[in-house]
Amino acid sequence: MKIFPAIDIKDKKCVRLVKGDFNNKTEYEMSPVEQAGKYKDHGFKNLHIVDLDGALTGQMVNLDIIEDIVIKCGLKVEIGGGIRNLDSIQKYIHVGSEKVILGSAAIKDKNFLKEACKKFPDKIALALDAKNGYLSVSGWKENSNQLTLDYLKEINDYGVSRLIYTDINRDGMKQGPNFDETLKIAEISSCPVIISGGISSIDDIKKAKTLKNIEGIIVGKAIYDGDIKLDELVKEDA
């Protein structure tokens, strides 16, 4: 089970949103590079980064910060947020990102996803952000009118190397992940699944470790708010 501490970047700062709402955010003192260094010092190997500026603008606003984190911390980084073309994917891979996460652009244009998987084998992760069974796009502001499971069945043979499943209703709420829906995804997915959204305690991590086809879990707000101690969490990282 891989543990992915989360860093969300907005205006060069670490922030956390509740249910993806930019009007409901908390800013933290540490810079993204300092926060990544803290995770490395505790012994974590993986890191989940979302460029929220990129998600809003479709531009690679924080590429320099991502590169800094990769070079200084040596962590295996997965990066997402507003990645809409092959050139952006190439740049993130060039600075050392292990996985590049596609979301809205891949949901709206399956051919883009297929092309990306073909050009960058084993580098593409797909974010499935769902609300009441339907995929959401554009920073969770739009419902795509596509059922999550139907979409997954359509793209299951494209060559995606990792799925990141987020239940939007749980994100930032610390009420525990939606294990039932995650299991439905994991049962049919041709690649391993990362659980995201709502992690509240070490018990959530222990439960995730018992599930099939689950590669890891992303932990964000529970770390920042002190509900999960890093020393305790890193013991579950393998």
- Report the C-alpha gap between 107 and 127 in whole angstroms: 9
What pLDDT, in 10s, does the model give residues 128-167? 999 889 998 876 667 778 999 999 999 999 999 999 999 9
Looking at residue 155, its pLDDT comes to: 98
* Global confidence as pTM: 0.94
What would the mean pLDDT of 36-49 be, rounded to a whole number?
97
Q: Which residue has the higher pLDDT, 17 or 8?
A: 8
| Domains of the chain, residue spans | 2-234
Is the CATH number of domain 2-234 1.20.140.150?
no
101 pLDDT higher than 80: yes
Sequence-ordered list of residues with C-beta below 8 angstroms from that of 185, at least 6 positions apart, any chain: 128, 148, 149, 152, 163, 165, 193
Looking at residue 18, its pLDDT comes to: 77
Active-site positions read 8, 129
What pLDDT, in 10s, does the model give residues 169-227? 887 777 899 999 999 999 999 999 999 989 999 999 999 999 999 999 999 989 988 99
| Mean of the per-residue pLDDT values of the chain | 93
